Amino acid sequence: MKVRKRTILAILATIFIVCATNSLWLISSPLVVDFDISAKSSGNAEVRLSHNVNKIYNNQDFSRINHLSYSIEKAKFHKKIKFYFSDLNNIFPITLRNITLRNGKAKLNNWKNFKLEGGKLEFKDNSLIIKPDYNFVVLTYNEPLNFIRTDFKFDFYIFVIIAVLSFLCMYKLTCYIADFKTIKNQSRIEIIFLAIFFVMLFIPMSKISQDDISRNENRRLAVWKPLITQNGQINYNFGKDFNDFFNDRFNFREKIIPMSVQVKYLLANDYVEIPLGYMYKSNGWLFYNQNQSDIHNSFKPLTDDELEKYTQNIQRLKNYCEKRNIKLYIVIAPTKEYLYREYDKKNSSKVEEKTKKLVEYVKNKLNYEIIYPVDELSHLKLKEYVCFKTDHHLTDSANFLIYSVLMSKIKKDFKDIKISNLEQFRISYNNLVRWDGDRQFRNGCNYERGLLKDNKLLKTLYKYYDYMSLNDINIDCDFPHCVHKNKNGKYKLFLIGNSYCENLTYFLNTSFSEIDKYRFNTSQPYFPRRKASLDIQGYLPLIEKQKPDALLLILSSGYVDRLNELYD
């Protein structure tokens, strides 16, 4: 290749690089966004302009602040502005006022242009009232922000440096390619092949996600941990940390993975492995993998030593409660993997040996009855769904049944306690899963963690029970602790449980005046101790303080081994 040709090619490549790096030499001024906020909740607040990611106000108590201000760096090409409110601790309304841009020079006051995802939006007294359905809402101003001119600053020195360096590098590269020994003899097919391969090789690292969390995976993404820590020490796990960081954040990750799951789902004839578990296309039932030990623990045998230790722990807790005139109740909910084992074609012969053995042993040795309503639920499932097909939790129907069984036992100890009957609930049908935590509970949600999008999976209707006297009830949540109050109740309940307690609490709330509910299986470093452990000693001071009439432990069958660690 002649020198002239090489120079022209190098100039063209330089122009391309200079254009591509425009953000370095053509710097747009920050866009300041201000607004007033008021709410009774706390959570994260964030403002985004197109794809610009900005500082997030994490764990803000909106009842204590009334104003938020953001300075969005490199704010050019004003297209759409979005307000994110995430990790909300409850679903109380959030009110926004005086949304201004560029230090008050422009106002977003055309309310019709606002659109909300994840809740309902109202406009009242020059205010936007956001009523979240979930713990995560996104408010979008749909009109392009063309009325704000982007302020640019041209950095001449950076421009010259980039242009000169690019030209030198590109000229060198052009020469190198031109001199590449045998390239001139190669067919274009091979050159194109190699070019595509190398482009594909660079795509994943071409953009690193700046997100903090993955909604699909329901977890925080790995963060960057440098080789040299802030204390000046060497991070010997840098390689592993980097792998975690990159695996969570490479380009197109959020698109590629759902695509692969969907392809796998479409190609499978019946059994299909999906993230977390497996599903049968023919019947739509999802089950969790064996490695989800918290679900499959119940199928393991219980040794005599374990049995003795569990029983001793229960006895000790029972003694503690009796001394303080507190009634103790323990509910163990059977797992879906057992209740619906006939739909799990590959593992249909499972038996919840552990729980059955424990319940019988405790009954014989301590003369104490653990509530394990497996027969009642097995009977009910002949008439209606007791578990969600695409989730592992129990339905409202199953929870109402457990509530009835539990209350009939409680009634023996508290003669005047009120037990709600079916007439006190409004019955409706819905295809969404009322799962897990308070924050996303009442409206149900589409179970997407399996990343499957198949309308067939949403055809099943589940019975919803909604208490009709909601005005009597007040719920105050600061996850994992929630206080449920009912002005018509008489007795106080202290409740410790895993996710199976969430739905049941709404039924118990109709009978007790106050429920102090603690969710023990959260991986956050929450009170009282390490994640997912049931260390009762951490709760004892609280029980002493609250002076409840009854203490209730709610576990699913897979969590039975937590009884081992009650007093560790």
Residues from 486 through 515 that contact other proteins (CB under 8 A): 499
291 lines the binding site for other proteins (CB under 8 A): no
Phi, psi of 22 (to 5 degrees): -55, -30
301 lines the binding site for other proteins (CB under 8 A): no
6 lines the binding site for other proteins (CB under 8 A): no
Judged by CB under 8 A, the chain residues 360 through 399 that form the site for other proteins are 392
> Could you say which of 34, 36, 155, 217 contacts other proteins (CB under 8 A)?
217
525 lines the binding site for other proteins (CB under 8 A): no
Applying CB under 8 A, which part among 253-261, 408-416, 426-434, 533-541 lies near other proteins?
253-261
The number of residues in the chain equals 568
Shortest spacing between CB 1 and other proteins, in angstroms: 15
Judged by CB under 8 A, the chain residues 432 through 491 that form the site for other proteins are 436-437, 449, 451, 479
Applying CB under 8 A, which part among 125-133, 137-145, 238-246, 369-377 lies near other proteins?
238-246
Is the CB of residue 339 less than 8 Å from the CB of residue 401? no
Shortest spacing between CB 564 and other proteins, in angstroms: 20
Q: Distance between CA 376 and CA 510 in Å, rounded?
A: 22
Q: Which tokens is 477 given? A: 């949540």
> Could you say which of 77, 193, 224, 527 contacts other proteins (CB under 8 A)?
193
**x/- letters, 68..97, toward other proteins (CB under 8 A):** -------------------x----------
Q: Distance between CA 477 and CA 177 in Å, rounded?
A: 65
Shortest spacing between CB 346 and other proteins, in angstroms: 8
Residue given tokens 């319940």 in the structure block: 359
259 lines the binding site for other proteins (CB under 8 A): yes
Q: Are strands 327-333 and 425-430 parallel, antiparallel or unpaired?
A: unpaired
For other proteins, the closer CB: 248 or 514: 248
288 lines the binding site for other proteins (CB under 8 A): yes
Q: Which tokens is 54 given? A: 């900005």
Shortest spacing between CB 213 and other proteins, in angstroms: 5
For other proteins, the closer CB: 265 or 310: 265
Q: Distance between CA 205 and CA 458 in Å, rounded?
A: 36
Shortest spacing between CB 269 and other proteins, in angstroms: 5
Which strands sit side by side in the sheet containing 286-288, from one edge to the other? 271-274, 277-280, 286-288
Shortest spacing between CB 471 and other proteins, in angstroms: 29
> Could you say which of 210, 243, 446, 474 contacts other proteins (CB under 8 A)?
243
Applying CB under 8 A, which part among 75-83, 102-110, 190-198, 461-469 lies near other proteins?
190-198
Q: Which residues pair with residue 68 across a beta bridge?
A: 35
For other proteins, the closer CB: 261 or 331: 261
Q: Where are the alpha helices (DSSP H) in 367-422?
A: 374-380, 396-413
For other proteins, the closer CB: 87 or 561: 87
264 lines the binding site for other proteins (CB under 8 A): yes
248 lines the binding site for other proteins (CB under 8 A): yes
Applying CB under 8 A, which part among 14-22, 199-207, 312-320, 333-341 lies near other proteins?
199-207
Q: With 0-12 CB in 10 A as exposed, 13-18 as middle and 19+ as buried, what is 19?
A: exposed
Is the CB of residue 117 less than 8 Å from the CB of residue 136? no
180 lines the binding site for other proteins (CB under 8 A): yes
What are the C-alpha distances in Å from 468 to residues 253, 426, 440? 45, 6, 20
What are the C-alpha distances in Å from 256 to residues 195, 253, 262, 268? 22, 5, 10, 18
147 lines the binding site for other proteins (CB under 8 A): no
353 lines the binding site for other proteins (CB under 8 A): no
352 lines the binding site for other proteins (CB under 8 A): no
Q: Which tokens is 456 given? A: 């067939």
For other proteins, the closer CB: 253 or 327: 253
202 lines the binding site for other proteins (CB under 8 A): yes
> Could you say which of 250, 320, 414, 467 contacts other proteins (CB under 8 A)?
250
200 lines the binding site for other proteins (CB under 8 A): yes
Q: What is the DSSP letter of 468?
A: S
Q: Distance between CA 45 and CA 55 in Å, rounded?
A: 9
Judged by CB under 8 A, the chain residues 407 through 436 that form the site for other proteins are 436
Residues 354, 355, 361, 365, CA torsion sign = positive
Is the CB of residue 354 less than 8 Å from the CB of residue 405? no
Applying CB under 8 A, which part among 121-129, 146-154, 197-205, 421-429 lies near other proteins?
197-205
Q: Distance between CA 322 and CA 306 in Å, rounded?
A: 24
Shortest spacing between CB 35 and other proteins, in angstroms: 25
Q: Are strands 127-132 and 94-101 parallel, antiparallel or unpaired?
A: antiparallel
Nearby residues of 266 by Cβ (< 8 Å), 6 or more positions away:
none
What are the C-alpha distances in Å from 36 to residues 14, 155, 285, 411, 474? 47, 35, 47, 50, 27
273 lines the binding site for other proteins (CB under 8 A): yes
> Could you say which of 189, 323, 375, 544 contacts other proteins (CB under 8 A)?
189
Q: Distance between CA 501 and CA 180 in Å, rounded?
A: 69
